[in-house]
Amino acid sequence: MEIYINVDPLQSGGIPPKHVIEKLKNYLFGYPACLYCPGDIHLVQKPNIKKLVEEELPEFMGCEVTRLHHGAREAAFTVLFSLYKHFGLEKKTHAPVLIIDGNTHYSMVLAGERAMLEVCLTRVSSEPEFKVLEEDFEEKIGEVKKKYGKPPLAVLINYPDGKYGNFPNAKRIAEIAHENGSFFIMDCAYSIGRMPFNACNFDADVVIASAHKSMACIGPLGIVGMSKKIAEIVTKKSKYNEKKELEFLGCSARGLPTLCLLFVMEYLRERVKEWGKRVKIANYFVEKAEKELGFSLQGEKPHAHDLLNFSTRVLYEISQKRRDRFFVYKELKKRGIIGIKPGITKVIKLSTYLLEKKEVDFVIETFREIMGA
């Protein structure tokens, strides 16, 4: 098995530790979590998924109720559709509108669209920072209330976004949402599992995590954390089968990813304590990349996350001279570095998560080498 330095933001936070990988080898069959199921995957006690869902995850995420799902986008859809049916169609207290920050991942837009909601994106500042403008949430909510005579169903932010690694002012946006009667949802696919997190600190009604992106877990696996008020709606039982939660189709994530998360929690609780170090190393990479390589960071400075987006015009110019837009990917892989998308040279997105300084130095030196070749 070849060992690479992996700088892909999609994978850098989702690599299970070796002892967990070894343990998972005992469960490589069918639905390994379902042998002792009493009717709901969240109630399985052998292995103890019930404790994971009812105790460990609520404490780790700072929320009252959690449920497992097949990914962050599936979790978002389930919550949005549940809320829309209850508050939009039944009670008719909210407009069928979802307001999302302008840096959002496309999957959150699709989750809203699939939940039969009109999706409205807020503005962001100009380059190079691309900051989410919290005042625009108030403006967009006002437009919705003027059009429908009631508030939008929900406000959703990506914390941080998956393009620039920027953190919106979540507390302020939560205040704006709640003052206007909308629910506040946080997509934390790139934060929960990498850094200490507590939903209570942001007054969030719903938080969504991605185990395979940021919780050292194989995937796909998402987690939704909710207040008890929201959970009463989202976890409603089927009228035809009283044991089954309707919006999760009875049971959601029934396979190996769920067990991986169960086995990795102790490791995660220790890993998040190093977040300060991880941010320092990310900014160390930024400093060297800008000074030594001529790259330009797109996003907030100083940066507060390991996900980094660079304008790399210099690499594009080299690719034109070499008539090979895949040269960056190929040359990095030859030298043991993966995670840069093939064929992309104008803009490069990468993550320094779990890299040490000596590995950052190696990556920078490798870029210097291939740029001078």
Question: Parallel, antiparallel, or unpaired: how do β-strands 118-121 and 152-158 relate?
Answer: unpaired
For residue 323, which of 302, 297, 343 has the smallest C-alpha distance? 343
Helix axes 170-179, 134-148, angle to 10 degrees: 20
Tokens representing 85 are 């049916």
Which residues does 153 contact at the CB level (< 8 Å), separation at least 6?
A: 80, 83, 84, 87, 88, 94, 95, 96, 97, 98, 117, 182, 183
The pTM of the full predicted model, rounded to 2 decimals, is 0.95
Q: How far apart are CA 159 and CA 165, in angstroms?
A: 8
State the pLDDT at residue 29.
82
Q: Is the peptide bond before 160 cis (omega within 30 degrees of 0)?
A: yes
Going by pLDDT thresholds of 50, 70 and 90, the confidence category of residue 39 is confident
Cα angle 251-257-258, degrees, rounded to a multiple of 5: 50
Spell out the domains of the chain, with CATH numbers in brackets: 5-14+274-372 (3.90.1150.10), 18-270 (3.40.640.10)
According to DSSP, residue 39 is labeled S
Q: What is the pLDDT of residues 285-308, one digit of tens each?
A: 999 999 999 999 999 999 999 999
Examine the pLDDT at 330 and tell me if it is beyond 60: yes
pLDDT in tens, 180-202: 999 999 999 999 999 999 999 99
Residue by residue, DSSP assigns 276-325 as: HHHHHHHHHHHHHIIIII--EEES-SS--SSEEEEE-HHHHHHHHHHT-T
